[in-house]
Amino acid sequence: MQTITGKQVLVLGANSDVAKEAIKLYVAQGHQVVAASRSTNELNRFVATQIPVPAQVEVRYFDATDFDTHQAFYDNLPAKPQIVLYAAGFQVTNDEALVSWPGTFQMMKVHYGGAVSILNIIAMDASNQKLERIIGLSSLSGVRGRKSNFVYGSTKAAFTTYLAGLRQYLSTRKITVNAIVAGYIRSKMTAHLDLPESLLLEPSYIANAIVHAPKRFTIVPGFKWKIIYNILQLLPESLVAKLP
């Protein structure tokens, strides 16, 4: 049996396509992973069929929207994490979000409320002297408000802003915080959306950017999306208003 000598990694929202690919890479590096999600049956199947050494991954139940359980979840982890990835996601179309509060509120809870709740707990645990990195999977949809997706985008914008402040707050402890500002990802969450094929990125590509993230805060995977990101930041409001 392989001896596990790597770091302790906590993946929140581990049933997402990107998170699963990241778990594979962390395992390949020899790390021990806690994969946390509501979808524990699916995660157990994933570990049994796609992880060469299943002992490297422990599946735990975690509901990003059940805030009252977050402290107990963290307290009961098998080991304090050195690396944390928050990849939980939920999306409804903008048209649905504008007329259906439950879908809107769920996006707020998953992308922002749940992230702030659990990451505050992790960040404020002064006893964990080994914490070295927190990574959040955000989105280019949060860079500028656009009429086609501003409800979803606003939840990602809030998450990115939180991560930026958390990075500053934790800087004295030499803890790195990264925001992965991703474009369109080919995943089960976007399967129902009509997205341009030329701009779709594979989950494995995003996962590679996560696992090999440098020290800088904003990481935009893919050269096309880097260009789009820079254009979005520079466009005057009159032109942003003409975007879909």
Q: Which amino acid is at 84?
A: V
- pLDDT of res. 3: 46
- pLDDT of res. 206: 96
Name the pLDDT band for 192 (thresholds 50, 70, 90).
low
Q: Say if residues 140 and 225 touch (Cβ distance below 8 Å).
A: yes
Mean pLDDT of 12-22: 97
CA 14 to chain centre: 9
- pLDDT of res. 148: 86
CA 55 to chain centre: 24
Mean pLDDT of 206-217: 97
pLDDT one-digit tens code per residue, 149-173: 999 999 999 999 999 999 999 999 9
- pLDDT of res. 2: 44
pTM of the predicted structure, to 2 decimals: 0.92
Among the listed residues 155, 79, 143, 76, the one whose alpha carbon sits nearest the alpha carbon of residue 115 = 155
Could you tell me how many residues make up the chain? 244
- pLDDT of res. 16: 94
Of 25-34, 179-188, 199-208, which one has max mean pLDDT? 25-34
Name the pLDDT band for 201 (thresholds 50, 70, 90).
confident
Name the pLDDT band for 189 (thresholds 50, 70, 90).
low
Mean pLDDT of 84-91: 96
pLDDT one-digit tens code per residue, 96-130: 999 999 999 999 999 999 999 999 999 999 999 99
Domain boundaries in the chain?
8-240
Structure tokens at 3: 């001896």
- Residue range 8-240, CATH number: 3.40.50.720
